Amino acid sequence: MSGDDTEHARRFTELRPLLFTVAYELLGSATDADDVLQDSYLRWAAVDLDTVTDSRAYLAKIVTRQALNAIRSSSRRREDYVGPWLPEPILLDERDASDDVVLAESVSTAMMVVLESLGPDERAVFVLREVFGFSHDEIGDFLGKSPAAVRQTAHRARAHVQARRPRFVPVDDTRAAAVTDAFMAAASSGEVEALMAILAPDVVFTADSDGKASAVRRPISGALAVARLLMGFHRLGRLEDDLRVEAAIFSSHPGIRVYFDGRLQGVFVFDVVDGLITNVFAMRNPDKLGNVTDVRPIAR
């Protein structure tokens, strides 16, 4: 490896957590974000470093453009998706999930669902400006737009997100363990009332399966309806001898990995406000479970 190749690799590796976070927040998929970073590195390796004054901005531009290309190429696949679509959960460590509130919220499942309601350019402008602090001029360069157009898009995207932004509370290992322990105790009790006691009255259960695993194909609302659905954990405990549950922090929320029949069956992510679960995000799509056992460093 030549000296230039080594320097390309060093700069890219140093910024990789940030670049992954940019790609993930634009795509909602760790798998697709990895592909974008691979393609971006090939483009970066061909750049004359003497022409680069700011590696962070230059690499963010490459990654943003590659991510937007990936969004366009996957639009048909998304249209054919069976049932609700949820962002791919990522396993975080306690530091990433609680020390930087802006960063933690930006990759939370609840926020990613809101970002999914933006158009690709609006999403890119919002993420690059609000999370990563790039200037309007820099974002204009990334997207091939004028700074004035970026400002208008930023204002529109910010208003859209603020109108839908869920309340976010940072989580650490201790709080995550308390939530998941309470959930498993209630779910295994076999008592609907025990589950209802930890659910918000207007709780929503949303499952993502793309028709590739058993799951409800529309969101279920209300504490009683969701509690009855979650009684499936109690039934599983009686039917599956090898049922195993592991607690962790997924996408800035407390969550659990569920194993039985000798394999990972799903990830359940809990959005918690004032001690009550307001959303249950259930990832059952096997194509989105390949990245939930490795910690993903994130940065901004």
CB 244 within 8 A of CB 238: no
DSSP state of 196: H
Taking phi over 0 as left and psi of -120 to 50 as alpha, with beta for the rest, 104 belongs to: alpha
For residue 210, the model assigns a pLDDT of 95
CA angle 68, 71, 72 (to 5 degrees): 90
Token pair belonging to 289? 């479970």
Report how far residue 139's alpha carbon sits from residue 223's, in angstroms, rounded to the nearest whole number.
43
DSSP state of 128: I
Report how far residue 57's alpha carbon sits from residue 186's, in angstroms, rounded to the nearest whole number.
48
Using alpha carbons, list the distances in angstroms from residue 22 to 56, 103, 245: 11, 11, 31
* Residues constituting the chain: 300
Token pair belonging to 60? 């963010």
CA angle 166, 218, 35 (to 5 degrees): 70
Ranges of the chain whose pLDDT falls below 70: 1-3, 76, 94-98, 237-238
Burial of 262 (0-12, 13-18, 19+ CB in 10 A): exposed
Backbone φ and ψ for 21, nearest 5 degrees, come out as: -65, -45
By DSSP bridging, strand 199-208 and strand 276-283 are parallel
Using alpha carbons, list the distances in angstroms from residue 212 to 70, 85, 164, 256, 257: 23, 13, 30, 20, 18
Q: What is the pTM of this model?
A: 0.93
Q: Which amino acid is at 227?
A: A
CB 290 within 8 A of CB 31: yes
For the chain, where are the alpha helices, taking DSSP H only?
Answer: 3-27, 30-45, 55-79, 94-98, 101-106, 109-115, 120-126, 136-143, 147-164, 173-189, 192-196, 223-230, 232-239
Report how far residue 51's alpha carbon sits from residue 49's, in angstroms, rounded to the nearest whole number.
5
For residue 92, the model assigns a pLDDT of 86
For residue 170, the model assigns a pLDDT of 82
